[in-house]
C-alpha cells in the first residue's frame, strides 16, 4: 500500500451500514471517479467492503451540485453529506447516514467536539440539516417537517399494504399493518404507484406496539432493498403512528432490526436521535480499485 491509497472507513447507525470516504477537499473522489459502478463495487458484501450505501465526507464548496440544492445556505454548510445508495443512485437524505457522517467529522479531527455538541449544519441533497451530539454519545438530527402527500399502496411479499405518503426530503410510504411484520419475506422489489412516487419510494411496514408511542419497523429501501434500519423511514413511521393516534405531535420509539431510534415530531419539525458507530478504518488496495 502506498501513501496515495484512498482512506476508507466503515460504520453504521442502528446497523444501516455505510462505506465512508473522507475527501475533505474533493481531490480524492471527484464526481467522475466515484461513479455508480464503483459505488456498487464498494457496497458489494462479497467482492467489496459491503454496505447499504456510501457517504463521501466533503466540503460543500467542492460538490458541483451542492450550490443548486443548498442555494444561499451553501455558505452556512461547511460540510456536505454526499450520499449514494448501494445501487449507485443518489438520495436526498439519509437519517442514519448523517449521524455517522458527523461522528466521522469528529473522529477524523475535522470538527471539534464542542461545536458538535452545539449542533452543526450539514448540507445534503434534501437541504441543510442540523446535527448534534447528545451527552450519552448518541446524535440527534433536526430532519425538518414530515410532509404528507396522500395515501398509497405497495405490494410486498405478495401482500398489498396501504399507507401514508410522507416526504422526509426523500419519499416514503409508511404502512401501519396488523400483519406480523417479522414473518414477511422482504427480499423482492415492492411494486407501487409510480404516479404518486415518480422517483421511487422507501416502503415502511409498521406494527404498532403502543398507540402513538412505540412501533416496530421493517423497511425496504429504494436503491438498496431491505435494510436493518432507515432513519428517514423511522421518522415517516413515527409520524404515521401519531396520525393514526389522532395526533401530529409526540415522541415515538421506533424499534428496527438493527436497534432503536427515537423520533420526536412537533408542529414544525422532526428530531431523530440514535447511535452512530465506527467499525473500521484503513485504505483501499490500489489493485482492487484498478478493478
Ligand X SMILES: N[C@@H](CCC[C@H](N)C(=O)O)C(=O)O
Residues with a known catalytic role: 94, 230
Give Cβ neighbours of residue 32 (< 8 Å, ≥ 6 apart). none
Q: Which long-range contacts (CB under 8 A, 24 or more apart) does 243-250 make?
A: 243/148, 243/164, 244/176, 244/208, 244/211, 244/212, 245/211, 245/212, 246/212, 247/212, 250/212, 250/213
Rounded Cα gap, residues 211 and 119, in angstroms: 31
**Least Å distance between CB 207 and ligand X?**
19
Scan residues 91-110 and list those touching ligand X (CB under 6 A).
91, 94-97
Q: Is 2 annotated as a binding residue?
A: no
Q: Give 184 or 256: the residue with its C-beta nearer to ligand X.
A: 256
Q: Is the dihedral of CA 161, 169, 142, 231 positive or negative?
A: positive
Q: What's the N-to-C CA distance of the chain in angstroms?
A: 16
* Interface segment toward ligand X; rule CB under 6 A; list 87-95, 103-111, 179-187, 207-215: 87-95
Binding pattern for the stretch 160-199 against ligand X, x by CB under 6 A and - elsewhere: ----------x-----------------------------
Phi, psi of 163 (to 5 degrees): -160, 180
Which one, 40 or 245, has the nearer CB to ligand X? 40
Tell whether 202 is in a known binding site.
yes
217 contacts 204 by C-beta, under 8 angstroms: yes
Tell whether residue 273 is a contact of ligand X (CB under 6 A). no
Kindly tell me which residue out of 11, 22, 190, 231 binds ligand X, with binding defined by CB under 6 A: 231
Site string for ligand X, 7-26 (x = CB under 6 A): ---------x----------
> Between 232 and 271, how does the x/- string for binding to ligand X read (CB under 6 A)?
x---------------------------------------
For residue 33, what are the contacts with CB-CB under 8 A and spacing of at least 6?
none
C-alpha cell at 2: 502506498
Does residue 207 belong to the site contacting ligand X (CB under 6 A)?
no
User: Of the two residues 35 and 210, which places its CB atom closer to ligand X in the complex?
Assistant: 35
Please enumerate, by residue number, every residue annotated as part of a binding site for substrate: 16, 85, 95-96, 170, 202, 221-222, 231-232
Amino acid at each position: 500500500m502506498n501513501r496515495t491509497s484512498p482512506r476508507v472507513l466503515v460504520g453504521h447507525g442502528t446497523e444501516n451500514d455505510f462505506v465512508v470516504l473522507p475527501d475533505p477537499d474533493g481531490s480524492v473522489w471527484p464526481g467522475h471517479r466515484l461513479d455508480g459502478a464503483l459505488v456498487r463495487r464498494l457496497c458489494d458484501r462479497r467482492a467489496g467492503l459491503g454496505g447499504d450505501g456510501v457517504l463521501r465526507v466533503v466540503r460543500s464548496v467542492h460538490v458541483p451540485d451542492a450550490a443548486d440544492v443548498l442555494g444561499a445556505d451553501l455558505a452556512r454548510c461547511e460540510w456536505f453529506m454526499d450520499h449514494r445508495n448501494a445501487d449507485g443512485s443518489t438520495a436526498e437524505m439519509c437519517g442514519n447516514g448523517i449521524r455517522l457522517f458527523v461522528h466521522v467529522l469528529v473522529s477524523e479531527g475535522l470538527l471539534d467536539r464542542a461545536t458538535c455538541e452545539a449542533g452543526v449544519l450539514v448540507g445534503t441533497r434534501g437541504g441543510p440539516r442540523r446535527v448534534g451530539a447528545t451527552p450519552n454519545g448518541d446524535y440527534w438530527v433536526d430532519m425538518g417537517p414530515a410532509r404528507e402527500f396522500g395515501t398509497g399502496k405497495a405490494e410486498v411479499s405478495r401482500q398489498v399494504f396501504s399507507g401514508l405518503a410522507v416526504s422526509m426530503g426523500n419519499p416514503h410510504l409508511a404502512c401501519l399493518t396488523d400483519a406480523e411484520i417479522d414473518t414477511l419475506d422482504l427480499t423482492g422489489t415492492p411494486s407501487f404507484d409510480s404516479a404518486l412516487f415518480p422517483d421511487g419510494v422507501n416502503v415502511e411496514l409498521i406494527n404498532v406496539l403502543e398507540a402513538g408511542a412505540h412501533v416496530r419497523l421493517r423497511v425496504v429501501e429504494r436503491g438498496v432493498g431491505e435494510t436493518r434500519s432507515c432513519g428517514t423511514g423511522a421518522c415517516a413511521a413515527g409520524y404515521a403512528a401519531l396520525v393514526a393516534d389522532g395526533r401530529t405531535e409526540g415522541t415515538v420509539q421506533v424499534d428496527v432490526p438493527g436497534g432503536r431510534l427515537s423520533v420526536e415530531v412537533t408542529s414544525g419539525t422532526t428530531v431523530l436521535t440514535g447511535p452512530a458507530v465506527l467499525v473500521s478504518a484503513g485504505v483501499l488496495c490500489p489493485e482492487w480499485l484498478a478493478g
